[in-house]
Amino acid sequence: MSDQDPARAQLADATTPLIRNAWYVVARADEITRAPLGRDVMETSLVLYRGEDGAPVALQNRCCHRSFPLAHGSLEGDGIRCGYHGLLYARDGRCIEIPMQDKIPPHLCLRAYPLVERGPFVWAWFGAADAADEDLLPHPAWLGAPDWDIYIGYLLINASYVHMHENLLDLSHLSFLHPKTFGTPEYARAPVELAIKGTDIQVWRRVECQLPDIYAVPLQWQGCRAERSSGSQFVAPGLHVNTGILRNLERAATADEALPTIRVAQLITPIDRTHLHYWFAGCRNFARGRPDIDDFMRSAQIKAFTEDQFAMEEIARMQRVDGHTPHTEMHIPTDAAGLAMRRHLRALAAREAL
């Protein structure tokens, strides 16, 4: 398959325009307070704060007068005053006061971004505000639900969000990139089950193995044979979900006992085409009420995700260093889910370009 191949042209990569008609996490809910917070996302800069009613607000960070970041300004009631010339903006972005001026030019307003706060995260919509449909929010019900214990982590990754999604959709790399964290040798030999229905793109693998410590320690299953079913699902440009369902093969579960399950929401927010915010929230139905287990699993996951970060950033470096050499990306059968996802993102981008 060559660069000239029409099929390849249909795959999103690090040069594809970002998808704006989508919801993306812009902050953990507890990061947004009554002190303005600047955050760069989706090739734009936002200022985030809470109004007097506690609801989060996202405005364009760049003052429309002289481009000073509003994040350095101060809140006044529901509004925010620029720290350079004192322009005061309402929470809907309209300028409502200019010091010493009677009249305010009618176009003097900041873009406001629709937000939804749901569980531990706040999501923003980057397309046209009137197209922001809360029903499209990919927040899964279990994320932040009381019957799941949760830990949250974060990494800043200098790579394309397309490559990150592809990496997460691909369970075949676990034995090679993550042999000491997530992967066990059995993974490389386990058959993969693709489930691609339109834009619902999932991959599943089932192995019998000794679980890696990240699961074995919280379950106290070290040394036991277990069945591990792992699923990866591309949900939306801003969300990926990994699921692990575990069964101890040396102990019978009681009839009413739910299988130990971990779901990891991977909140992927492009900063631009080659940098991304990566929040992850691990939710489990076992070893509950144990902050020490939260810490243990978060540490183990950060260690494993740092391996992904290393791979993503090294790939970006190869693309730069080797940029003069003609290169054709080759595919293998286990890439099918990733390719479906990249075709989907490419189609979304093409639609937005119309």
**Interface pick for a copy of itself out of 22, 26, 27, 87 (rule CB under 8 A):** 87
In 3-state terms, what secondary structure has residue 217?
Answer: helix
Radius of gyration of the chain (CA): 23
Contact stretch for a copy of itself (CB under 8 A) within 48-56, 167-175, 239-247, 290-298: 167-175
HSE at residue 200, side-chain half, CA atoms within 13 A, is 4
Name the residue nearer to a copy of itself (CB basis): 85 or 251: 85
* Residue 107 sits in the site that holds a copy of itself (CB under 8 A): yes
Taking residue 142's Cβ as centre, other Cβ atoms within 10 Å add up to: 17
Name the residue nearer to a copy of itself (CB basis): 167 or 202: 167
**Interface pick for a copy of itself out of 193, 327, 350, 351 (rule CB under 8 A):** 327
Using CB under 8 A as the binding rule, the residues of this chain from 173 to 212 that contact a copy of itself are: 173, 175-177, 188-192
Sheet holding 95-97, edge to edge: 74-76, 79-81, 88-89, 95-97
CA distance 125 to 132: 6
**Interface pick for a copy of itself out of 311, 340, 341, 348 (rule CB under 8 A):** 311
DSSP string, 251-320: SPPPTTPPPPEEEEEEEEEEEETTEEEEEEEEEESSSTT-HHHHHHHHHHHHHHHHHHHHHHHHHHHHHH
Closest separation between CB of residue 274 and a copy of itself, Å?
A: 13
HSE at residue 244, side-chain half, CA atoms within 13 A, is 23
Contact stretch for a copy of itself (CB under 8 A) within 24-32, 56-64, 220-228, 257-265: 56-64
* Residue 354 sits in the site that holds a copy of itself (CB under 8 A): no
Name the residue nearer to a copy of itself (CB basis): 140 or 270: 270
CA distance 228 to 214: 13
**Interface pick for a copy of itself out of 40, 78, 117, 213 (rule CB under 8 A):** 40
* Residue 303 sits in the site that holds a copy of itself (CB under 8 A): no
Task: Give the contacts of 129 (CB within 8 A, at least 6 positions apart).
Answer: 112, 113, 114
Element (H, E) at 345: helix 336-353
**Interface pick for a copy of itself out of 54, 289, 291, 323 (rule CB under 8 A):** 323
* Residue 353 sits in the site that holds a copy of itself (CB under 8 A): no
Name the residue nearer to a copy of itself (CB basis): 107 or 197: 107
**Interface pick for a copy of itself out of 6, 9, 53, 99 (rule CB under 8 A):** 99
For residues 225-254, b (16+ Cβ closer than 10 Å) or e, as one string? ebebbbbbbbbbbbbbbbbbbbebeeeeee
Which among 208, 46, 238 is positioned nearest to 136, based on CA atoms? 238
Using CB under 8 A as the binding rule, the residues of this chain from 135 to 164 that contact a copy of itself are: 163
Task: Give the contacts of 229 (CB within 8 A, at least 6 positions apart).
Answer: 204, 205, 206, 243, 244, 245, 246
Name the residue nearer to a copy of itself (CB basis): 261 or 334: 334
Name the residue nearer to a copy of itself (CB basis): 37 or 315: 315
* Residue 331 sits in the site that holds a copy of itself (CB under 8 A): yes
String of contacts with a copy of itself for each residue 259-278, x by CB under 8 A: -------------x------
Name the residue nearer to a copy of itself (CB basis): 58 or 287: 58
CA distance 113 to 25: 12
Number of residues that bind a copy of itself (CB under 8 A): 65
* Residue 319 sits in the site that holds a copy of itself (CB under 8 A): yes
CA distance 18 to 335: 22
Report the C-alpha dihedral over residues 229, 230, 234, 236, rounded to 10 degrees: 90
* Residue 77 sits in the site that holds a copy of itself (CB under 8 A): no
Residues near a copy of itself (CB under 8 A): 1, 40, 43-45, 60-62, 64-69, 72, 81-87, 98-101, 103, 105, 107-108, 111, 163, 166, 170, 172-173, 175-177, 188-192, 272, 311, 314-315, 317-319, 321-325, 327-335
